[in-house]
Structure 1
């Protein structure tokens, strides 16, 4: 039996049924059937759409919409999904239901938005509402149809231009990339303006190419500007896993609400992008230039530019950004992820500093510090807890070279949680702690071996979905090494090689400087907030590049993304508004 992981429940399907899902259309029908079934367990707009498209259950779908629109939420994503439902069912909705959608947009405001995905979702929904609602209709914000259309169009065009020329802010998010994608697909399908429709179509392809670049067996790998706690601990539970299965036919069979909205479209990912997502024959390095969340106060934090680095192997991926604070919440600065034998089992490892004092959010929010903190806590009840598994910190600095990563911590004066915390997998064939001699923790997780070297005293405790790592020393750090069985040989051989490597921490407590020669023979020298070299050279991204890898490249400011595939190159050109191929 083949297990299928979805965010809502676990299903079993016989291998003989796998052949039913060979095409996007067959997978689309499976997504629709799933959400139709979910109507028995709860009320979702995705279920309402699936039921309404079935003539035999249309009345039930309409009743579900009637019930869901009777209680209006100020949540922006709920408003976006409600509007997407209106558009997908526009031709069959009765006038009574259409008037309810109009009434909600007229009388009920949405709460202030903080995230980039919320702005894109809101302005997409607003733009399309102005094109499909009555021309003389007023909106909750007091602006006319034309004024709202102009506002929404201006924002969306600026966001597309900045994201493709300067880099996205909420970049590479396993949680929110599906919202960006579904917004662009909705614009592609329903924008009356041909220019907007074409730009949205190209932007959807661009987003999928960015995802494919960092994709491994259904998982969105590497560092993420934002990610929720659930998918940080179990990457296969992310919404983008469902998008992967739908368009790449890769990884576990997973289902999500935004997946249904895009599945109903005739949008198809370019074959070169599918190849990029699924061709994992040999390791490669990728560099990407992104941007931090918009800061509204002067700080001593990092620049707006964020350089993202990933080492992709056929069996695992290790990825990182240099640390620091680039988002007010849900930042995920680094991890190592591998292909799990059971998709329900967490297959990731990371360490972070659970910074949650008021200064962690005030650079990004307009409120006074304690009010800003209360507002964030109202949205994210785990934000101010030591058990959270996502979040950035100004007290973290990260340096990675291929399959070796060093994270340094110098925790300053904080009111809450002056420590570092991590997540280790619970499913392993072996876990060995050599705290008395070499200091290494080694793990055999199947086809991949892991090694972690904590600088200071620590403890490992059982958690709900994995092991929790805690170390209370403020001046701290970890080294992480990962290697596949195909390269390392036996687990015993891997342990012997790891135990033979001991980092030089003699200057760390005094100068925050250390050195380590990895099992592959490369010497990494790293100073917190300073020098970082490999064999005496300073690695880095090429100047002027937005994407830089063997398969994906783009010069900053060009709006042109070039993908190298087996049959030539595929080019997304946002200036010419075209996709072209070159042999």
Structure 2
């Protein structure tokens, strides 16, 4: 049974869908759980599909330019934010202490120097660059990649001795495809490739050029097939972006430049549909913290998203986004709109992980509403790599207060870090279920991001101001200590049962309009308790099983390491798309097509071509 919608929202959705139907010339792709993306319907089929798709309007379905014009981008632009970022870092010293954290000082300082050059503070930039290349400490690949970009952008105003120090450091390594992680290898390869191009008299130039070119080609090819290993890491994603940005800006070989551009676009394509006014609503690998708050430390990639799509201004931590600010690269206009248009809800699906997690890979799912998002991933049925830095699921909502994030996990320490292979989840739109072997913990902000909370009949109901959340821990939970996560207090709760399950049902606050947050939450709680169904009879099995009928009437059912079904249909994760949402369709390793209004952009991964049509062309 559908949850009651406010009159305002019903009319908003009705008129949006009516416009889509009237203007629809090309087909709509409807999000499905169990099959790969299909060819778009046309003609009469399109009208039927648009009506049947309920609240999930397909903005990509129309070719009339008035549809695109109906959403107005904010007045503040990328250029405005880029100038703010450059000025901030040009007028502030590196945020790491030179004596107490010399490696961090170098990693951060190279971007400070970049901002100083761009801001016209050439003497200060030369002095800092001299210091960095004279005392690189253990920054190695981080300074090699960003330092090479710094050299190539600003060597015309660098003193000869600084240029020589840069060359000496960047050409000092034995291996330009190594390092202990994926991001290390890409940064080394970028630095080596550009160094071999810049200093052709280097005795290793030919060998390094060939080795790094092969490594970089393979990396971009992997992105087109199944993303990257350290997917959507708030810490490391920026270094993949910066590496391909440096190649796009400085590679002399047109083929390398083109492949870098495709790879760079795809890295940002993975962010755009998950961006929510400063919050990156995504499951992640390689993150020690679960908070998505843009106003707290810990997200080096957050400022990149802010540059392109805006939202709450983040803390400008290490300045890694400065490279995007000083580059002349701009994301495709379709992605500018996709990263900001949140008028109607939609589902985004994505594949990441290469073969790092066996053939299972990471199959991501994000439900995006106007003011909140819920995200999760399928990460296989076995051991997990880097599980101590894994964040499998969560709910985030827009709030003026810090910490607006709810997560359930099996952390590896008492600070909420990581997750384990003993938990698995299934999400469909606004609802999520999970089954667990071993204890689980949850975290809820102990700030004004929680406006109201009700606990009754085994449920926890939360009003976040912009989202309503219902949580059921099948075998109960107990509140524990409040922990500090990057300066934000989170209340923790825990269930010690060795078999367990969870249910999360979300709703927009507009769905339960009332005179007060308490009244709205009470109405939501009553709907969840009376209009949903929960079968927990299999939760204590050796392989726990759970079945839930959500407010929308959809049936979610799963058994640990068994089938996961939506409305009786088994979810086929092996046919999961590279990207799929109302604006995107793809075939891994073959193509990606992005449409918004009358604009379209198509990537052909067989010949590395990019074709634009519509207003951009």
| TM-score bucket of the superposed structures, by smaller chain | 0.7 to 0.9
Whether 1:318 aligns to 2:382 is: no
Partner of 1:91: 156
Task: Output the CA distance in 1 between the equivalents of 2:115 and 2:581.
Answer: 40
Instruction: Indicate how the Cα distance of structure 1 residues 73 and 236 shifts in structure 2: closer, same or farther if over 3 A, else same.
Output: same
8 Å CA contact retained: 2:226, 2:578: yes
Partner of 2:34: none
Q: CA deviation at 1:395?
A: 0.9
Partner of 1:125: 191
Instruction: Indicate how the Cα distance of structure 1 residues 454 and 569 shifts in structure 2: closer, same or farther if over 3 A, else same.
Output: same
Q: CA deviation at 1:246?
A: 1.4
Q: CA deviation at 1:69?
A: 2.6
- Please list every run of 5 or more consecutive structure 1 residues that lacks an aligned counterpart in the other structure: 1-18, 139-143, 296-301, 356-384, 412-418
Partner of 1:408: 435
Match of 1:551 among 567, 579, 583: 583
Task: Output the CA distance in 2 between the equivalents of 1:582 and 1:346.
Answer: 41
8 Å CA contact retained: 1:292, 1:327: no
Q: CA deviation at 1:485?
A: 0.6
Task: Output the CA distance in 1 between the equivalents of 2:235 and 2:119.
Answer: 29
Task: Output the CA distance in 1 between the equivalents of 2:508 and 2:584.
Answer: 25
Q: CA deviation at 1:439?
A: 0.4
Instruction: Indicate how the Cα distance of structure 1 residues 98 and 147 shifts in structure 2: closer, same or farther if over 3 A, else same.
Output: same
Q: CA deviation at 1:234?
A: 6.1
Q: CA deviation at 1:118?
A: 2.0
Partner of 2:473: 454
Instruction: Indicate how the Cα distance of structure 1 residues 476 and 110 shifts in structure 2: closer, same or farther if over 3 A, else same.
Output: farther
Q: CA deviation at 1:227?
A: 2.6
Q: CA deviation at 1:157?
A: 0.6
Report the secondary structure of 2:348's partner residue.
Answer: strand
Match of 1:421 among 429, 441, 445: 441
Partner of 1:477: 501
Match of 2:322 among 260, 278, 300: 260
Structure-to-structure mapping, 1:25-64, within 5 angstroms:
25-39=79-93, 43=105, 44-55=109-120, 57-64=121-128
Task: Output the CA distance in 2 between the equivalents of 1:442 and 1:232.
Answer: 21
Q: CA deviation at 1:569?
A: 2.2
Partner of 1:347: 404
8 Å CA contact retained: 1:234, 1:346: no
8 Å CA contact retained: 2:226, 2:354: no
8 Å CA contact retained: 2:468, 2:508: yes
Structure-to-structure mapping, 1:137-536, within 5 angstroms:
137-138=202-203, 144-229=204-289, 231-232=291-292, 237=297, 238-252=299-313, 255=316, 257-292=319-354, 294=356, 303-324=359-380, 325-328=383-386, 329-342=388-401, 345-355=402-412, 385-389=413-417, 391-411=418-438, 419-426=439-446, 427-434=449-456, 438-460=457-479, 461-464=481-484, 465=488, 466-489=490-513, 490-500=520-530, 501=532, 503-511=534-542, 512-536=544-568
8 Å CA contact retained: 1:165, 1:546: yes
Tell me which moved more, 565-574 or 70-79: 70-79
8 Å CA contact retained: 1:410, 1:475: yes
Q: CA deviation at 1:224?
A: 1.7
Q: CA deviation at 1:82?
A: 2.6
Task: Output the CA distance in 2 between the equivalents of 1:41 and 1:77.
Answer: 16
Q: CA deviation at 1:449?
A: 0.9
Task: Output the CA distance in 2 between the equivalents of 1:50 and 1:568.
Answer: 34
Tell me which moved more, 480-489 or 519-528: 519-528
- For residues 170-215 of structure 1, the C-alpha deviation after alignment (integer angstroms, 9 at most, x for no partner) is 2233332221111111111111111111221222222222211222
Cα RMSD of the aligned pairs, angstroms, is 2.6
8 Å CA contact retained: 1:289, 1:305: yes
Structure-to-structure mapping, 1:6-21, within 5 angstroms:
none
- TM-score (norm: length of structure 2): 0.77
Instruction: Indicate how the Cα distance of structure 1 residues 22 and 513 shifts in structure 2: closer, same or farther if over 3 A, else same.
Output: closer
- TM-score (norm: length of structure 1): 0.81
